[in-house]
């Protein structure tokens, strides 16, 4: 079996294949994943991590591509993670090809990866955080995390990056309002993309209206206009990302973001690992039996879970 030590140096040196393999290790729960993370941990903390979220159809991918191009033009290495929680249902890799990214996909200074749930509960947010760390260790200067869906996992992912960009477009429907309100608290920068369409002022007014309702925050999120497909407004977005980074450094905000991220990482890994251990101790036969009992309505789910965890505890206590 390949060991953590074998991937460690190539990954630190920034070899894309080592990086790709390490991300797969994290996704699949490879036995050496944990050791690799321990080795790499002291070599991280340099990368600027930017999250992009917002409604489907808002053009997040195009905006991400344009930001990546501009950063490359400055000589920075850029990692892109596309978080796509719904793709397992169709076998994944919907974004894998990222056809529209062909113009940047051959650039060795850009690493692109689509992150999709492997069916593990809470596994997507955790694996994405791991991938951010690996890109950081591999010397990528900026990591852009783009979400496809708009759900709790995605909000979890982008809420603890350094700078969170919420992308909106003019002329969205009714319940987009709910989503805008919901992600209001996590937005560091608002971008109104496709700003050459009618209704830009209306969206701007709505954002300002919601900003006035929301909890007072020391950083006032700017509202920018872009037409990402034509490269318009990209420099302003980059400028605001830097502005926000500087503000965080001056006001102790980086430490607060690091705490948020540490809490999320601990919680998601704990849920995953505690479940894994409980299942392993109970045995898959016993777990199947309990799940069948729930489906047949002989046992309620709370009782089934208690049966597994109580048994674990008493078998540990008896020195098994």
Residues in 226-245 that interact with a second copy by CB under 8 A: none
Task: Establish if 280 lies at the interface with a second copy (CB under 8 A).
Answer: no
The residue within the footprint of a second copy, chosen from 22, 23, 49, 55 (CB under 8 A), is 55
7, 22 contact by CB (below 8 A): yes
Residues in 138-177 that interact with a second copy by CB under 8 A: 148-155, 159, 169, 172-176
50, 158 contact by CB (below 8 A): no
Residue nearer to a second copy on the CB measure, 165 or 172:
172
Task: Establish if 4 lies at the interface with a second copy (CB under 8 A).
Answer: no
The residue within the footprint of a second copy, chosen from 57, 239, 246, 283 (CB under 8 A), is 57
The residue within the footprint of a second copy, chosen from 206, 269, 286, 311 (CB under 8 A), is 269
Number of residues that bind a second copy (CB under 8 A): 98
304, 290 contact by CB (below 8 A): yes
Helix (H, G, I), strand (E, B) or coil at 223: strand
Task: Establish if 272 lies at the interface with a second copy (CB under 8 A).
Answer: yes
**Using the 8-state DSSP alphabet, how is residue 93 labeled?**
-
Residues in 13-32 that interact with a second copy by CB under 8 A: none
Residue nearer to a second copy on the CB measure, 185 or 220:
185
Task: Establish if 11 lies at the interface with a second copy (CB under 8 A).
Answer: no
Contact region for a second copy (CB under 8 A) — 1-9, 50-58, 70-78, 243-251? 50-58
Contact region for a second copy (CB under 8 A) — 200-208, 217-225, 241-249, 257-265? 257-265
Residues in 59-78 that interact with a second copy by CB under 8 A: 59-62
Q: Could you give the string, one character per residue 78-117, with x where binding to a second copy holds by CB under 8 A and - elsewhere?
A: ------xxxxxxx---xx---------------------x
Residue nearer to a second copy on the CB measure, 73 or 178:
178
The residue within the footprint of a second copy, chosen from 74, 249, 258, 280 (CB under 8 A), is 258
List Cα–Cα distances, 297 to 286, 308, 309, in angstroms: 16, 17, 20
Residue nearer to a second copy on the CB measure, 239 or 283:
283
170, 192 contact by CB (below 8 A): yes
Task: Establish if 294 lies at the interface with a second copy (CB under 8 A).
Answer: yes
Which of 73, 76, 77, 94 shows the shortest CA–CA distance to 85? Answer: 94
**Strands 142-147, 48-54: parallel, antiparallel or unpaired by DSSP?**
parallel
Residue with tokens 């989503």: 179
Measured at the CA of 124, the angle between CA 119 and CA 128, to 5 degrees, comes to 150
The residue within the footprint of a second copy, chosen from 46, 202, 262, 280 (CB under 8 A), is 262
Element (H, E) at 271: helix 253-282
Residue nearer to a second copy on the CB measure, 220 or 300:
300
Q: What are the tokens at 110?
A: 């850009």
126, 85 contact by CB (below 8 A): no
Task: Write 99-102 long-range contacts (CB < 8 A, 24+).
Answer: 100/61, 100/62, 100/65, 101/61, 101/65
Q: How far apart are CB 239 and a second copy at their closest, in Å?
A: 26
**Residue partners of 62: CB distance under 8 A and separation at least 6:** 100, 193, 228, 229
């Amino acid at each position: 079996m390949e060991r953590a030590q074998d991937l460690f140096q190539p990954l630190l040196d920034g070899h894309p294949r080592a990086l790709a393999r390490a991300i797969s290790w994290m996704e699949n729960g490879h036995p050496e994943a944990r050791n690799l993370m321990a080795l790499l941990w002291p070599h991280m903390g340099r990368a600027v991590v930017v999250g992009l979220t917002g409604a489907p159809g808002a053009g997040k991918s195009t905006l991400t591509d344009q930001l990546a191009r501009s950063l490359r033009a400055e000589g920075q290495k850029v990692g892109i993670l596309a978080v796509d929680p719904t793709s397992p249902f169709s076998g994944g890799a919907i974004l894998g090809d990222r056809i529209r990214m062909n113009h940047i996909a051959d650039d060795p200074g850009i690493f692109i990866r689509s992150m999709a749930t492997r069916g593990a509960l809470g596994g997507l947010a955790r694996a994405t955080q791991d991938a951010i760390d690996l890109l950081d260790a591999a010397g990528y200067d900026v990591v852009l995390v783009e979400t496809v869906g708009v759900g709790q996992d995605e909000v979890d992912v982008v809420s603890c990056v350094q700078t969170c960009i919420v992308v909106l477009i003019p002329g969205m429907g009714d319940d987009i309002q709910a989503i805008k309100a919901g992600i209001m608290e996590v937005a560091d920068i608002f971008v109104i993309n496709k700003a050459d369409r009618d209704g830009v002022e209306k969206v701007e007014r709505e954002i300002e209206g919601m900003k006035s309702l929301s909890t007072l925050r020391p950083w006032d999120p700017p509202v920018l206009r872009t037409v990402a497909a034509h490269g318009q407004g990209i420099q302003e977005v980059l400028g605001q990302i830097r502005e926000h980074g500087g503000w965080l450094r001056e006001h102790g905000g980086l430490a607060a973001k690091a705490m948020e991220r540490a809490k999320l990482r601990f919680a998601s890994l704990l849920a995953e690992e505690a479940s894994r251990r409980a299942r392993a101790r109970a045995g898959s036969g016993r777990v199947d039996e309990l799940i069948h009992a729930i489906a047949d309505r002989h046992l309620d789910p709370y009782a089934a879970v208690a049966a597994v965890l109580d048994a674990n505890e008493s078998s540990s206590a008896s020195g098994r």
